[in-house]
Structure 1
Amino acid sequence: EAPTPVGNLPSPGLIEGPYLFKANGIYYMTFPWARKDTEVLAYSTADNIYGPYEFKGVFFEEWPNKCWTNHHSIINFREQWYIFYHHNDYSPNFDKNRAVCADSLFFEPDGSIRMVKPTLRGIGISGAKTDIQMDRYSEMSATGTSIAYLDTTDYFSGWKTIFTNPDTWVRYNTVQFDGDCRGAILRVKAPQGGMLLLQSGNKTLAKVKVPVTEDWKEITVRVKGITKGIHHLTVKSMSDNETYLDWLRFTK
C-alpha cells in the first residue's frame, strides 16, 4: 500500500524529524520547520491518524544562538507530558554535536500546545545533599544575572552563575529535603567580596558573606528554617560587586 501524504503543512522548510503522538483523543503531528534561518518546532492536529491535519502553529521558537536542528519526541509519564529535544550546549562552536534536553510540556484547555520555554533546569528532583548547579536554572532575573562557562577551553567542566547587581537572582526548582539539613556549602568567588541570600520561596535560609577572593573557594554557612519536602531555591545577590557561584550543597 502506498504511503498516505500528510497535507496542510507549511512549506517550504520541512526536511526531517517529525513526531506523531495522541493526547486526549487528538492526533498531534509535530515537526521541525525551517521557517527562517533555523528550525522551530510546529504542529498540526487531526481527529484521525490519517488526517486531514490542520496546521496550528509553532510551540518552540528558534534557538537564539542559531543552533540549526531541534529534533524531538514527546511522551506522557505518570500523567505528566514531557518534551525531549537537543541543543549544542557542550559544543557552542559546532551545532552538529548536541546534547539531550528535557522539559515539561503542557496543553491549553482547547487542546493547543503551550509554548515551550526551554529551561536549563530540565526535569526531575534534585537531592539537597547533592551538588545543586544553580546555573542550570528554572528562572532568573531579567538583568544583572548571567551564565557563563567555567572554562572556555573545556566546555564539559560546566558553568557558573554571575551576579553583577544587587537584588538579582537565580531560581532552581524541585529540591528534595529530608528534614535534617542545618548547613550548606557554596563554591563561590568574588574579587571584591559579596553578599548572597539563600532562600526558599520568600523565606531566607541563610545570609552568605563571600570573602574577597580571586580563586574559587568553598564556604560553609548555617541554614535555618528548612523543612522536609520539596522546595524551590533562590540565590539572590545583595551586593554591587561581581560575585560568582558554581554550585551549592546542603549538609547535616
Structure 2
Amino acid sequence: MNIKKLLLALFCVGIFISGVAQNPIVQTYYTADPAPMVYDGKVYVYTSHDEDITVDNFFTMYDWRCYSSDDMVNWTDHGAVASLKDFEWMDKTNGAWAPQAIERNGKFYLYVPIHGEGVSVLVSDSPTGPFHDPLGHRLIVDSDDVWTDIDPTVFIDDNGQAYLYWGNPSLFYVKLNEDMISYDRSIGNKGIVPVEMDNHSFGESKAKDGRHHSNYTEGPWIYKRKDLYYLVYAAGGIPEYIAYSTAPTAEGPWTYQGYIMERAPHLAFTNHPGIIDFKGNSYFFYHDQDLSGGEGFKRSVSVEQFEYNEDGSIPMITPTKEGIKESVTNLNPYQKVEAETIAWSEGLKTAKDDNGVIVTNINDGDYIKVRSVDFAKGAKTFKARAAALEGGKIEIRLDAKDGPLLGVCDVSEIEDNWKTFTTKTKKQKGVHDLFLVFKGGEGELFNFDSWEFK
C-alpha cells in the first residue's frame, strides 16, 4: 500500500464503517482554495491542487482542477482544466494558487494567481475548458511582495459592473471592463484601488508579525445577497480563521461582522472560503488537512450547508466530517454515469485519456460510493465500460461497502481497447446509496470509464 492510501485508511477507518463521511468531497487528489460557481443547474467548483509529493516542504501546485455536481453530494471530476503551462510568456513551474471563475455573455473567465507573478486570466467557451490566455501577460501585478497579489475573487454587480478583489494582507480591487480581461485605469493608482484596512472594516489584528494592519489576512470572497454585500475571508494570521465584513456597495465602506468558522483540529493552518446559494440552500466551502493525515501543504475541499440568520448575518459554521446530509436531487442510474462521479471513494485516482476523465489505480478492495441513486421500480442489468489490466470484478452493493449484493460484473477480458461488460442484477426499488466495490488479485485491475443500469 502506498503512503497516500495508508494515510487515508488510517484517518478514515472508523468513518468508512459507518458510511457517513462526505468531507472532503474529493478523495482522489488533494484540492484546496475552493471557488464554487453556479451555472445552468450545476455547481462547478474550481480548486487549486496540492501535489502528492511536496517540494521543499512548501505548497507544490502546478494546475487548477474542476468538479461539478447537480445534487451537492456526488461530484464529477473534470480533471485539470488549466495549468501554469497555459502561460507561454512565463517560465514559472510552481505557484498555481487560489482561482475563481465567472461566466459573462457565454464566456468563462478563470482568474488565477501565480505566486510571485501577480494575477492572470484565462478564457473558455465552456466551464470545464479548454481555457486559453487572451492577454499574453499578467492582468494584475502591483507589488514586489510575492504574497500581495494573490487570491482573486470576482463579482458582477446588478448594474453590470464587475469587480476583482485580491490581496494578502492588504486588500485591493479594480473595476473590470465588460470584456473581463481589462480594467478601468482612471481610478485609484492606475486603476488599482487599495481598501482601508482598519479595525472597523476588518477587526483588530491578532497577528503579531507586523504585516497585518487588521484581522483580514487573505482569501477574499465577495458576493451580494438581498441588497447587502458580503466579503468573507481568512483572518487572524496563521493559523487562519474565517471572518466576514459587509457593506452597502461593492466598493464599501466595509463593516467587520466577526468570525464564522473557528479553528478545529482537522483544519489546515490556512483556510479559504467560498459561499453560494443553490436550489434553495446555502453552502459554505472551505479546505482542511484531514485526507493527508494532518499535512498542511496537502489540503482537501469540504462543504457545509448553513442558513442565514433573519437579519442576514452568517452564523458560526462548524467544520464536520459528515458534510452535506441530504442531496437536492436524486441520481438517475438509467443513463450514462461517468465513473468519476463520486460521493466517496477509497484508493482511487483519476486521469485523462481519449475518453476524457477516467478512474484509475483500481486495486482489490477499493470502491466508489454514489449517493441518492433512484432505482425507481428496479433495474435488471448493469453495464460498465472498462479496460481490463490484470482483470477483476465489480461488486454492486447497496447502502454499504458490505451491503446487499445486487450482482457482480466480471471485468476480466483483457483487451487493448475499451469494452462494455454486462451482468444481470437483482431487482431493487427506491432510492439507495450505491457502492461499486472492486475485487481481484494483485496489481491494478482495470480502468473505469462509465456505468449504467437498464
Question: For residues 123 and 164 of structure 1, do their structure 2 counterparts lie closer, same or farther at Cα, with a shift above 3 Å needed?
Answer: farther
Give the counterpart of 1:105 among 295, 305, 320. Answer: 305
How far the C-alpha of 1:74 sits from its partner, in A, is 3.1
Q: Unpaired segments of 5 or more residues in structure 1? A: 23-27, 63-67, 86-100
For the Cα contact (< 8 Å) 1:30–1:41, is it kept in 2? Answer: no
Give the counterpart of 1:225 among 414, 420, 427. Answer: 427
How far the C-alpha of 1:10 sits from its partner, in A, is 6.0
Mapping 1:58-77, distance limit 5 Å: 72-75=274-277, 77=279
Mapping 1:62-211, distance limit 5 Å: 72-75=274-277, 77-78=279-280, 80-83=281-284, 105-106=305-306, 112-115=316-319, 124-141=329-346, 145-151=347-353, 157-165=356-364, 167-201=365-399, 202-211=403-412
Question: For residues 185 and 75 of structure 1, do their structure 2 counterparts lie closer, same or farther at Cα, with a shift above 3 Å needed?
Answer: same
Aligned positions, number: 209
How far the C-alpha of 1:51 sits from its partner, in A, is 5.3
Aligned residue for 2:368, secondary structure, equals strand
Aligned residue for 1:73, secondary structure, equals strand
Provide the residue aligned with 2:77 in structure 1: none
Q: Distance in 2 between matches of 1:134 and 1:33?
A: 38
Question: For residues 248 and 76 of structure 1, do their structure 2 counterparts lie closer, same or farther at Cα, with a shift above 3 Å needed?
Answer: closer
1:146-184 residue CA offsets vs partner (Å, 9 max, x unmatched): 122132xx7x9223143212x221211122222142111
Q: Distance in 2 between matches of 1:135 and 1:245?
A: 8
For the Cα contact (< 8 Å) 1:184–1:249, is it kept in 2? Answer: yes
1:72-95 residue CA offsets vs partner (Å, 9 max, x unmatched): 2233744x432468xxxxxxxxxx
Mapping 1:30-45, distance limit 5 Å: 30-32=232-234, 42-43=242-243
Give the counterpart of 1:6 among 178, 197, 202. Answer: 202
Q: Name the aligned partner's letter for residue 222 of structure 1.
A: K
Mapping 1:14-53, distance limit 5 Å: 14=218, 16-18=220-222, 30-32=232-234, 42-43=242-243, 53=258
Question: For residues 14 and 208 of structure 1, do their structure 2 counterparts lie closer, same or farther at Cα, with a shift above 3 Å needed?
Answer: same
For the Cα contact (< 8 Å) 1:72–1:83, is it kept in 2? Answer: yes
How far the C-alpha of 1:195 sits from its partner, in A, is 1.5
Are residues 1:57 and 2:262 paired?
yes
Q: Distance in 2 between matches of 1:216 and 1:34?
A: 52
For the Cα contact (< 8 Å) 1:41–1:70, is it kept in 2? Answer: no
Q: Name the aligned partner's letter for residue 381 of structure 2.
A: G
Indicate the structure with greater strand content: 1
Are residues 1:236 and 2:437 paired?
yes
Give the counterpart of 1:212 among 389, 413, 424. Answer: 413
Q: Distance in 1 between matches of 2:232 and 2:263?
A: 9
Are residues 1:246 and 2:449 paired?
yes
Provide the residue aligned with 2:151 in structure 1: none
Q: TM-score, normalised by structure 2?
A: 0.38
Q: Distance in 1 between matches of 2:223 and 2:305?
A: 15
Question: For residues 61 and 193 of structure 1, do their structure 2 counterparts lie closer, same or farther at Cα, with a shift above 3 Å needed?
Answer: same
Question: For residues 221 and 172 of structure 1, do their structure 2 counterparts lie closer, same or farther at Cα, with a shift above 3 Å needed?
Answer: same
Q: Distance in 2 between matches of 1:19 and 1:10?
A: 25
Q: Distance in 1 between matches of 2:306 and 2:337?
A: 26
Question: For residues 237 and 182 of structure 1, do their structure 2 counterparts lie closer, same or farther at Cα, with a shift above 3 Å needed?
Answer: same
Question: For residues 224 and 19 of structure 1, do their structure 2 counterparts lie closer, same or farther at Cα, with a shift above 3 Å needed?
Answer: same
Cα RMSD after superposing both structures: 4.4
Q: Name the aligned partner's letter for residue 31 of structure 1.
A: Y
Q: Distance in 2 between matches of 1:10 and 1:129?
A: 54
Query: Which shifted more, 199-208 or 3-12?
Result: 3-12
For the Cα contact (< 8 Å) 2:367–2:438, is it kept in 1? Answer: yes
Q: Distance in 2 between matches of 1:18 and 1:102?
A: 19
Q: Name the aligned partner's letter for residue 215 of structure 1.
A: N
Q: Distance in 1 between matches of 2:328 and 2:206?
A: 31
Q: Unpaired segments of 5 or more residues in structure 2? A: 1-195, 247-253, 287-300, 308-314
Aligned residue for 2:441, secondary structure, equals coil
1:123-168 residue CA offsets vs partner (Å, 9 max, x unmatched): 6432111222232311123xxx2122132xx7x9223143212x22
Q: Distance in 2 between matches of 1:132 and 1:81?
A: 26
Question: For residues 9 and 42 of structure 1, do their structure 2 counterparts lie closer, same or farther at Cα, with a shift above 3 Å needed?
Answer: farther
For the Cα contact (< 8 Å) 1:168–1:236, is it kept in 2? Answer: yes
